[in-house]
Structure 1
């Protein structure tokens, strides 16, 4: 018995003939390897009803069509036999075409039917160019003609006609007109049900539903670039494989220049000019077959066009999606590397490529799907749904935020463009009638800033100061209030304690030029015989820093320490902890010095304190290398005061204004001044 909720009834009332009960696909599909949009194309006309008898009749009709015309791979020999016996036969299958230059002719391959080198006319290929780019699902009118030969071989199979499985016409005005009959939440639920999800199921909260909607943005925004990394079985590729005939899924390493961009021999434009979206599945392995595809892809992702020696500039509107698995907890990845690191080695350190990503979807937040997360309610049939999405690509709401908000100073051109396009995408999805409120825009703006800031934060980890400006904000034009938008996974703001630091605890930063790390020094001084024990690092440079600092103290303890606090009366345990970054390098001597003295005297250090600089065995304070990167990292992770060697004074101009505004950087010239500025009460 069919049980309908109010939204089902409303969907049927407004879109009868264009909605289907989504669980029917699973019931009919069984083990057939046929995309959902093929089945729903067949279901929409006969099963868009709440009448159980008509529904059963429609399902039987679809089953009959599939039984008689859909080809399972194991039935390929039977289908070929039927073709031979009947001379002409309609099949539902995936057809692709390749050019064989040595014969100057096209040949078709019919996937499940296992037919190779079928004859197909040039006219059909020209009418359906996607045949050359991975193929399309279609109702194919096949013929068998044993008189067709190629030398001594008989090539009897002929593709006489092709009817792609998609709507022949679509009127977008109906969507805009009907949208007013639904609340925003109802429309959002209908969209997600149309994609196969059940928004009301347990485990899918509002945050996850928003992330699922983000997967649809590349289908409504032309030339939109997105990355999603997450666990297996979370449906990353499902959208682009199953619900639209306008997207293509490319397996890792299969993207060639000819397939993606242009075939220099024929001059034929590749996938970027013919598909709405190209999803690279398993982008953690390999993206491209040809190395020179990368610069072309950079050009295309930036401007929607690319240039080749022959033919000049070529344009396309395809969105680019990179999907991949992330196998470690995100906290672990952030401690040691960056969130782009799971991507293919071709691009995971290429900042020019990665900066072109508009949206980084945190797929690790989307739980693995279980049967309860898939809907059994009515949603748009996938062919109708895909046309809704495709039709929205022609409009834009790029300037929608300007009525209510101004973007903060840290959003540069690419950041602003990305944020605006994400907001535009949400409006197209949820407000196809163009009617939206200030609160709607505020919500989309916050999520858009998060998705782009995630890109920028990882670029900062890779490229350093070139991408320092990640403090994204927006300003309410009415109140002039500035609101900052953070990232759920960036918990760094409280890594450095704001309360007075315990005796022996001090923070610093290390950098080798490529990677900057946040380091915590913890010194415990126990009554003993002058032993020193270092844990937490095997880096010889770091151990040398600690040894030199200790020896300096030993040589000068009469002037630095009093008789009651002689180093020979203490055993020192020094723990060096890497709080953020790939690994610890040298330059930590002054932080160790402050830690030892405060531990011995049991003196608290000032809250939010960090110390840069190294100390030689002779007591000279050495300049901090990679000064700006270190101060920026410390400031963004909670440092209120960073004590800096005087030799770094000339580098102050390299610090971003926002860092200077929230973190003090007092200078010191010797170890005595260092202690005066670090210890509470000094």
Structure 2
């Protein structure tokens, strides 16, 4: 299907968005889902992310259109049997003690413990059940190696042995991603249709946002498609900064508040267990302004090294490479006109995070104050024109698969040249990386008009890096040997 060049950039009205529903369903078939089904199911109240809840819907009540009352009842009855609540841990353990087997939908994480003089032990953790030492077989670990990395969601059958619980079987959530077909599908949509589809997939109503706001929302996906994409988003409370990250993929780890230690981030030197930056594709620290950091000097020192070269180490005892993206989310104070109050945007962050040597390694700053506060009017609902999006588990895996596609990097290397007599190297690297990421998100098939690349990839990339550059320029005179504004080179 060829797109008429005259309509390539045509904005979408309500009628066009309604017609897009049928097109998305036709092109993506079983990989598409009506996004109204999820809120109607009330599965989110069971404490599971969207990529899990949509898998449940497809398993229990497959189909298109809005969820009927009968379907909603069926889903809730299934959830009551299979998704354990915090108050049901002891009930499940009691059943296991009586020799019963239990099936639950839960995240499952495994590790192999090697101790001197003892046989290696394979141990599974089921955190929703409060079980940290269940037996798991070699066969299951060989079938599902991600259990040993970041863990997986799925239906776990648990039984009891003489010395504790055992994982008897595991049915994982699985999304089959064919990147070639994903790229071919993109060719059947105009740019505005594709952007609307992406936002609907994330749960947002595209009609509720301006073109610029849509771009900022899509920028939250950058660390999924780009290796080592390190970012920051600053905004007032209630703008949904963490909404995208907690609902898109099990390979994204969100930490909200609490204590953060070097062992959690990097490596536990006591047992050699690698931290979350080594095991996940994206790590997100939410509420950074109130987080408590153990040994902050060690954390910022380790992060500076990691953000610069992708190497994880701690005290020189262990070292490995990682392509994990690191994202910090923080609330800042705004004035009556919804503009930042403080002269420095990072003034409200912990002191050690304000070091310019650290900030310089953050590639992008999303100006979250430009986005409206999250409300039901901004999310896909009964009044939305476009309601059909991609299934979250498939979409998250497709984005992560795009990390290995280097065509966008090659395009950005040729197309992005910064102006000025002496461009700052890290600015060039950051802008190229952001622009390449936005190309992967919006033009995964690689067919991009130079004017569209400029408008939807390069200009936003410069804007996101400029936010970091402004802070560096104001905080440290060392950076003032360069020009204050990042600009594109004239051709």
Q: Same fold (TM over 0.5)?
A: yes
In structure 2, C-alpha distance between the alignment counterparts of 1:58 and 1:175, rounded to whole Å = 30
Given candidates 293, 296, 301, the residue that maps to 2:299 is 293
Structure 2 counterpart of 1:351, from 349, 356, 361: 356
Indicate if the aligned counterparts of 2:333 and 2:342 stay in contact, CA closer than 8 A. Answer: no
Aligned to 1:92: 105
Q: Which residue in the other structure is 2:273 paired with?
A: 268
Q: Which moved more, 1:40-49 or 1:393-402?
A: 40-49
Q: Does 1:386 pair with 2:392?
A: no
Q: Aligned in 2, Cα 1:209/1:15: closer, same or farther, shift over 3 Å? A: same
Partner of 1:73: 86
Please say if residues 108 and 118 of structure 1, whose CA atoms lie closer than 8 Å, have aligned partners that are also in contact.
Answer: yes
Residues 290 and 358 of structure 1, relative CA distance in 2, 3 Å threshold: same
**Can you list the C-alpha shifts for 1:546-602, whole angstroms capped at 9, x where unaligned?**
xxxxxxxxxxxxxxxxxxxxxxxxxxxxxxxxxxxxxxxxxxxxxxxxxxxxxxxxx
Q: Which residue of 2 aligns with 1:654?
A: none
Secondary structure at the aligned position of 1:475 is classed as: coil
- CA distance, structure 1, for counterparts of residue 321 and residue 472 of structure 2: 27
Contact kept? 1:100, 1:107, Cα under 8 Å: no
- Against the structure 1 CA distance between its residues 131 and 462, is the aligned structure 2 distance closer, same or farther, given a 3 Å change threshold? farther
- Cα 1:89–1:29 change in 2 (3 A) is same
Of 138, 141, 149, which residue of structure 1 is paired with 2:154? Answer: 138
- Deviation of 1:414 after TM superposition, in Å, equals 0.5
Listed one character per residue, the Cα deviations across residues 581-625 of structure 1 (whole Å, up to 9, x for unaligned) are: xxxxxxxxxxxxxxxxxxxxxxxxxxxxxxxxxxxxxxxxxxxxx
Is it true that 1:235 corresponds to 2:240 in the alignment? yes
Q: Are 1:22 and 2:35 counterparts?
A: yes
* Distance in 2 of aligned mates of 1:50 and 1:135: 30
Deviation, 1:29, is 2.5
Q: 1:313, 1:67 → 2: CA distance? A: 44
**Could you list the per-position Cα deviations for residues 117-166 of structure 1 after superposition, in whole angstroms to 9, with x for gaps in the alignment?**
43445776787677678854332120023x22xxxxxx3x2223444434
5+ residue gaps, structure 1, are: 149-154, 478-682
Alignment of 1:36-435 (within 5 A): 36-44=50-58, 49-50=63-64, 62-85=75-98, 87-96=100-109, 108-120=124-136, 136-145=152-161, 147-148=162-163, 155=164, 157-167=165-175, 169-201=176-208, 204-252=209-257, 254-286=259-291, 288-291=293-296, 292-308=298-314, 313-329=319-335, 337-348=343-354, 350-376=355-381, 377-396=387-406, 397-401=408-412, 403-404=414-415, 406-409=417-420, 411-435=423-447
Deviation at 1:188, TM superposition (A): 0.5
Distance verdict in 2 for CA 1:275–1:52, change over 3 Å = closer
Question: 1:325-361: CA deviations, max 9, x gaps?
Answer: 112439999775411112222212x111100011101
- Measure the CA separation in 1 of the matches of 2:114 and 2:100: 26
SS in 2 for 1:158: strand
Q: Secondary structure at the match of 2:203?
A: coil
Give the 3-state SS of the residue equivalent to 2:30 in structure 1: coil
Alpha-carbon distance in 2 for matches of 1:126, 1:49: 33
Once structures 1 and 2 are overlaid, which stretch shifts more, 188-197 or 397-406? 397-406
Measured in 2, the distance between the counterparts of 1:427 and 1:120 equals 42
Compute the displacement of 1:46 (Å): 6.5
- Alignment length (residue pairs): 462
Aligned to 1:632: none
- What secondary structure does 1:393 align onto? helix
CA contact (8 A) 1:219 1:389 kept: yes
Distance 1:282 1:181, change over 3 A: same
Instruction: Kindly state the Cα deviation for residue 96 of structure 1 after the two structures are TM-superposed.
Output: 4.5
Contact 1:333 1:339 in 2 (8 A): no
Which structure 2 segments of 5+ residues have no match?
1-16, 382-386
State whether residues 404 and 476 of structure 1, in contact with CA within 8 Å, keep that contact through their aligned partners in structure 2: no
Rg: which structure is higher? 1
Q: Distance in 1 between matches of 2:146 and 2:275?
A: 9
- Is 1:471 the counterpart of 2:469? The answer is no
1:587 is aligned to: none
Distance in 2 (CA, whole Å) between partners of 1:417 and 1:379 is: 33
Deviates more, 1:231-240 or 1:66-75: 66-75
Higher RCO (C-alpha under 8 Å, 6+ residues apart): 2
Please tell me whether the aligned partners of residues 307 and 313 of structure 1 are also in contact (alpha carbons under 8 angstroms).
Answer: yes
Q: For 2:149 and 2:398, how far apart are their aligned partners in 1? A: 23
Q: Given the superposition, is the C-alpha separation of residues 32 and 334 from structure 1 closer, same or farther in structure 2, using an over 3 Å criterion? A: closer
Q: 2:390 & 2:94 partners in 1: Cα distance?
A: 37
- Within-5 A mapping of 1:452-531: 452-469=465-482, 470-477=484-491
Shift, 1:472, TM fit: 1.4
Q: CA deviation at 1:82?
A: 3.8
- The structure in which a higher percent of residues are helix is 2
Deviations 1:406-437 (A, max 9, x none): 31125311100110111111110111111001
The residue that corresponds to 1:447 in the other structure is: 460
1-structure distance, mates of 2:307, 2:39: 36
Distance (whole Å) between structure 2 residues aligned to residue 48 and residue 362 of structure 1:
39
Q: Secondary structure at the match of 1:16?
A: helix
Q: Equivalents in 2 of 1:336, 1:35: separation in Å?
A: 35
Query: Do the aligned partners of 1:18 and 1:45 also contact (CA within 8 Å) in 2?
Result: no
**CA shift for structure 1 position 364:** 1.1
